[in-house]
Amino acid sequence: MKKDIDFESLKIAIQKKAEERKTLVYLENVDKYLKDIKESEELNTIWESYSRKFPYAEGIQFSEITNILVEIFNM
């Protein structure tokens, strides 16, 4: 999955969307928010349900997603 992602373009897109939505505060405190996301049982449960419903998400673990997010924001 990682080899298919252009991390730099994704990071730029996230930055632009945050500017557009006036939510840059989340990017300024990204470490805190990523930690909260990684530790959220509720989000993990939501992801498990989602990945069972949609075949394209099948086999992708919540931890893979959060690890990629950490990688993106630590670039």
User: What would the mean pLDDT of 6-23 be, rounded to a whole number?
Assistant: 91
pLDDT reported for residue 74:
81
Looking at the structure of the chain, the number of domains it has is 1
Q: Is the pTM of this model over 0.85?
A: no
Which pair of structure tokens corresponds to residue 37?
Answer: 């996301």
Enclosing domain of residue 39: 2-73
Q: Per residue in 52-68, pLDDT tens? A: 999 999 999 999 999 98
Q: Quick one: pLDDT band at residue 5, thresholds 50, 70, 90?
A: confident
